[in-house]
Structure 1
C-alpha cells in the first residue's frame, strides 16, 4: 500500500473514532480544505472544523472505501450518518474526497457532495423547497462559518 493511501486510511479511521486530533495530525500546516459548506479553510481552521464536528457528533457512523493514492494525489469515498444537531434530523452524506500531499501529509483536501440533497435531509421542508437556491446555500455556509468561529473563541478561553 502506498504511504499516502495509508495516510488517508489513518485519517478516516480516526474520523470513525471521532478523534479529531489524529485527523488534524494528518494535515500539513499549509493545508487547504474545501467542501460545499466550508470553502477555503486553511491551516488550523481546517483542523478546528473537524474538532468542532467531532465534538458535536450524535448518532455518528462513518464508512469509507475506494482509497487510492500515489506520490502526488489520492481519493476516497466516504459516507457519514449522523444527527444534525440544529434540527435533530438524520443525515446520510455521500462524499467523494480528493487529496494532494506534501512532506508526507495532506496539503489539499476537497470533499464533494450534493448540498441540496444534504439540506433536504438536515433541514426538512425548508431544504426541500429552498435548499437549491444560492441565497439559502450561502446562508448555510455563513451559519457554518459562524459556528466554527464561535467554537474557536470558546476553545481559546
Structure 2
C-alpha cells in the first residue's frame, strides 16, 4: 500500500468509527501528538483512538483532504464535527495533520489545531476566558490522559 492509500485508509476508517483499522495504519512505535492529549507513544496512541470511538459516536462527522504525500511525509487537513460533554456543545474542529512514514506505516502523527477555538466551543465561557492559557492546556491534557489511563485499565464506570 502506498502512503496516499495508507492515509486514505486511516481517515476512511476514522469516518466508519473503526479504530482497529486505524491502528493497522500505525507503526508499533507510533508517536502521536496533539494539543488535547500531548504526546502519546505506541499502545497509548492505539488506545486513544479506541477510547474516542467506543462506542461509535453517531453524531461524529469527519471530512478530510490529503494535501500532500511523499515517500517520507504527508499532510492531511481534516475537520471533525461532534457534540462534546454533558452539555452536548457543538464543536467544529479544523485540524492539520502531519505524518512521517516508516516501513509502510505511520510512525509519527502530529495533529495541530487552535486549542482556544476548540475550548471555546467545547467548554463555553470557561474555554473562552482561559482556554488559551498554558494552565488550561495542562489541565486539559491531564484530564484526557487520566481518562485514557482509566480506559486502558479496563475499569467500567
Give the TM-score of the pair, scaled to structure 2: 0.93
Q: Distance in 2 between matches of 1:110 and 1:13?
A: 18
Q: Distance in 1 between matches of 2:67 and 2:39?
A: 23
Root mean square deviation, CA, Å:
1.6
Identify the range of structure 1 (64-73 vs 26-35) with the bigger mean alpha-carbon deviation: 64-73
* Mapped pair 1:50 → 2:16: no
Q: Distance in 1 between matches of 2:51 and 2:85?
A: 12
What's the CA shift string for 1:2-47, capped at 9, x where partnerless?
A: 8101100100000000100000110000000001112220011001
2:60 aligns to what?
60
Unaligned 5+ segments in structure 2 are none
Tell me, what secondary structure is at the counterpart of 1:40?
strand
1:31 aligns to what?
30
Contact 1:60 1:81 in 2 (8 A): yes
Unaligned 5+ segments in structure 1 are none
2:70 aligns to what?
70
Identify the range of structure 1 (146-155 vs 90-99) with the bigger mean alpha-carbon deviation: 146-155
2:142 aligns to what?
142
Counterpart mapping for 1:1-157 below 5 A: 3-55=2-54, 57-154=57-154
Give the TM-score of the pair, scaled to structure 1: 0.93
What's the CA shift string for 1:107-157, capped at 9, x where partnerless?
A: 00000000000000000010011111111111111000001001111179x
